[in-house]
Amino acid sequence: MAEAKSTINFREITDFLNHIHPISTEATKFLIQHCNYFHVKKGKFLRSPIDNTETLYFIVKGLVRGFIKEEGDEITTWLNEENNIVGSVRNLGLAIETEEYIQALEDTTLIGIQQTALNEMYDTYYEANIIGRKILERYYRDADERAFLCRLPSAEKRYRRFLVTRSSLLRRVKLKYIASYLNMKLETLCRIKVKVERP
């Protein structure tokens, strides 16, 4: 993972945030001072459970997945592409241990900010709380959808719901990761995919 403090203005993240709610010049300046670009090659890790700094990332370009290891198997817990915020989110705001890995599934560019800087931003610039609240509303809904999807008893229904909500991922993500995310065997996913696509 390459990290390069840039002199440019992290326009991708400031545009993204400004679109949610206007941020002041001071808050923008603070943000830029505390951001870094990260470039992660396909297959490489952005984070493993032994990392002890908490960082949130905005995906500028590319695709990443979160997964846990369970008795040798990898279980994909989430998948996210450009214009999403990812991180060791199971810790979001709490100092408890996470077992989560984050892996790039394509060559990926991200902008990262450490949780400590983010907390300072919340304490100093009140508009950061408006933006944080609105972003969290969206991610709450996404996490709730992941919990809901997973409890649907029929594998075909889980796949059909995935088609409706996240179809853009189907072309980009290996089927084995999608199968894991949808809580089914790869063979099951392949069988259902053929059935659903058949005219």
Q: How far is the CB of 125 from a copy of itself (least distance, A)?
A: 11
Taking CB under 8 A as the binding criterion, the range among 1-9, 23-31, 92-100, 188-196 that sits at the site for a copy of itself is 92-100
- Is 54 in a helix, a strand, or coil? coil
Classify 84 in phi/psi space as left (phi over 0), alpha (psi -120 to 50) or beta: beta
- Is 42 in a helix, a strand, or coil? coil
* Residue 183 found at the interface with a copy of itself (CB under 8 A): yes
Q: How far is the CB of 133 from a copy of itself (least distance, A)?
A: 4
* Residue 175 found at the interface with a copy of itself (CB under 8 A): no
Structure tokens at 170: 């189907």
On whether the CB atoms of residues 57 and 85 are closer than 8 A, the answer is yes
Rounded to the nearest 10 degrees, how much is the dihedral formed by the CA atoms of 107, 111, 112, 117? 180
Q: How far is the CB of 107 from a copy of itself (least distance, A)?
A: 27
Binding residues (CB under 8 A) for a copy of itself: these are 68, 70, 73, 75, 77-78, 89-94, 122, 126, 129-130, 132-134, 136-141, 143-148, 150-153, 157, 183
